[in-house]
């Protein structure tokens, strides 16, 4: 029987645009936040703390944002996220202007609220999609990040030199990146109008009159479900390792004698690799199965770490970060698809909030560890960069082991 996915395709188009326009602020922040933090923190070990606070903000937002969307609808949550993104960028600009590291961190937290809501774009795409179209809908929405890969860092190049010039004593001193944060304010305020184009159900499926669904499982019961557990593990590892390496990349690139423009270009290539495969990832999942695609993602992440350890030329940086982006794409989209098929609609808010809380909680720790490993593990910048990449190995082994266990368990069930 043919299923009409016209409504789902419209929502996918809108969410792709939102991912491209509003989502551009995340690569901008991940390039600028560590450099801005290094300017005002006074301690190089704290340079990447604003990035960690962004991810911490996302982690602490997910537990209440997901149930809120379950009650009030996706649009309501997405608008809150865009407003928070604008507030966060404005506070960060002011903190940078007055040289306040706490101000930069407060702004970063609000940016994390936006980051959390953006993470639900992929789930919103699945809400109105058929089972067959669901993995494609998820991957197409994430493909909107392809434009943000170009748009974000290149916009940063244009506005980063629009500096503030406060009077300090008898001289005006330039402060880079204030213009960057003000541009992010405009992105959020302009981009939020897209959410009124969404055609999503006003009433969640479990709240519609006459609908009787099985009772929702508790969080502990959900974690006892092997498919849910392995999906969360793989999503967590894919996202955390991407964050671990990418957080240190601008510092490593500049520390190895290259320029901030080089760092912008490398991050652009990385984000491009994160999202460009999304046009085909859903098709690959449908053809080869979700387990094989997640496995391919883990292997690519491993090759990224190996490439980074082989040298610190621009070629090595570009190759490592491109492989890192590809690995994230296959690993994270695959894990999201696995999770989306492992729960009922009445459990949507609980399981998605649980997933993103665990994922971004671990990503917070990874980004914190990234700065410490890069700057404070001893030795040179090259030593720190290698340490960051070697740290990926045990987590890749964990995710691969979990995936093998789930595959063997499913095979035994099929045979019995």
Q: Which of 311, 316, 312, 323 is nearest to 396 (CA)?
A: 323
Burial class (CB in 10 A: 0-12, 13-18, 19+), 97: middle
* Angle value at C-alpha 408, between 405 and 412, nearest 5 degrees: 135
Own/partner long-range contacts of 401-405 (Cβ < 8 Å, ≥24 apart): 402/229, 402/230, 402/233, 402/234, 403/230, 403/234, 403/291, 403/294, 403/295, 403/298, 405/226, 405/230
Residue 160: what pLDDT? 65
CATH code where residue 175 lies: 1.20.1250.20
Total number of domains in the chain: 1
207 part of a folded domain: no
* pLDDT for residue 4: 67
List of long-range contacts for 303-307, beta carbons under 8 Å, 24+ apart: 303/327, 304/245, 304/389, 304/392, 305/245, 305/389, 305/390, 305/392, 305/393, 306/389
Token pair belonging to 145:
């990040």
Is residue 13, in this structure, part of any structural domain at all? yes
Is 103 contained in some domain? yes
Instruction: List the Cα angle 26/29/33 in 5-degree steps.
Output: 155
Q: Residue 210 domain-assigned?
A: no
1 part of a folded domain:
no
Say if 209 falls within a structural domain: no
Give the 3-state secondary structure of residue 181: helix
pTM value is 0.74
Question: Is residue 212 domain-resident?
Answer: no
As to burial, measured by CB atoms within 10 angstroms (0-12 exposed, 13-18 middle, 19+ buried), residue 174 is exposed
pLDDT values of the chain reduced to their tens digit, one per residue, 416 residues: 445 678 888 999 999 999 989 998 888 887 788 788 878 877 777 777 888 889 889 888 988 888 888 888 889 999 999 999 999 999 998 998 888 899 999 999 999 999 999 988 888 888 888 877 888 888 888 788 777 777 777 777 777 666 655 544 444 556 778 888 988 999 999 999 999 998 877 545 444 444 555 677 777 888 888 889 999 999 999 999 998 998 888 888 988 888 878 887 888 788 788 888 888 888 899 889 999 999 999 999 999 999 999 999 999 999 999 999 999 999 998 998 888 777 777 777 788 778 888 887 888 788 778 877 887 766 788 888 999 999 999 999 999 999 999 988 888 887 76
Q: Please work out, in degrees rounded to the nearest 5, the angle formed at the alpha carbon of residue 356 by the alpha carbons of 150 and 358.
A: 120
Does residue 32 sit within a domain?
yes
pLDDT number for residue 352 = 78
Q: Cα separation of 285 and 293, whole Å?
A: 6
* Domain that includes residue 156, residue range: 6-202+218-415
Give the pLDDT score at 262.
87
Residue where the block lists tokens 């700065």: 371
Q: Helix (H, G, I), strand (E, B), or coil: what is residue 130?
A: coil
Helix/strand/coil percent split, the chain, to 5: 80, 0, 20
């Amino acid at each position: 029987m043919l299923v009409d996915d016209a409504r789902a395709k419209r929502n996918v188009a809108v969410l792709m645009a939102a991912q491209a326009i509003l989502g551009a602020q995340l690569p901008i922040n991940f390039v600028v936040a560590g450099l801005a933090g290094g300017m005002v923190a006074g301690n190089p070990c704290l340079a990447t703390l604003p990035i960690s606070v962004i991810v911490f903000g996302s982690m602490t937002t997910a537990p209440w944002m997901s149930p809120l969307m379950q009650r009030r609808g996706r649009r309501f949550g997405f608008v809150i996220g865009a407003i928070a993104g604008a507030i966060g960028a404005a506070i960060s600009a002011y903190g940078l202007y007055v040289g306040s590291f706490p101000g930069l961190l407060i702004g970063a937290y609000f940016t994390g609220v936006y980051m959390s809501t953006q993470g639900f774009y992929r789930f919103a795409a699945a809400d109105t999609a058929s089972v067959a179209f669901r993995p494609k809908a998820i991957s197409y929405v994430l493909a909107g990040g392809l434009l943000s890969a170009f748009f974000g860092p290149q916009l940063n190049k244009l506005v980063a030199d629009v500096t503030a010039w406060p009077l300090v004593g008898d001289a005006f001193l330039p402060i880079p990146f204030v213009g960057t944060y003000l541009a992010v304010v405009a992105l959020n305020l302009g981009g939020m109008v897209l959410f009124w184009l969404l055609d999503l159900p006003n009433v969640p499926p479990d709240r519609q009159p006459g609908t009787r669904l099985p009772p929702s499982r508790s969080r502990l019961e959900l974690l006892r479900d092997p498919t849910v557990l392995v999906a969360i593990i793989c999503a967590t590892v894919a996202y955390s390792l991407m964050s671990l390496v990418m957080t240190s990349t601008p510092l490593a690139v500049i520390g190895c004698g290259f320029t901030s423009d080089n760092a912008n270009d490398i991050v652009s290539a990385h984000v491009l690799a994160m999202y460009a495969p999304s046009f085909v990832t859903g098709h690959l999942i449908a053809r080869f199965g979700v387990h094989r695609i997640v496995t391919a993602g883990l292997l690519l992440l491993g090759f990224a770490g190996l490439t980074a350890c082989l040298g610190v030329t621009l070629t090595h940086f570009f190759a490592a970060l491109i492989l890192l982006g590809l690995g994230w794409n296959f690993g994270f989209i695959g894990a999201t698809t696995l999770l989306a098929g492992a729960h009922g609609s009445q459990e949507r808010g609980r399981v998605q909030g649980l997933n993103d809380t665990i994922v971004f909680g671990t990503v917070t720790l990874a980004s914190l560890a990234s700065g410490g490993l890069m700057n404070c593990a001893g030795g040179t910048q090259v030593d720190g960069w290698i340490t960051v990449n070697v740290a990926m190995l045990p987590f890749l082994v964990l995710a691969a082991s979990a995936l093998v266990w789930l595959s063997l368990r499913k095979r035994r069930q099929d045979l019995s």
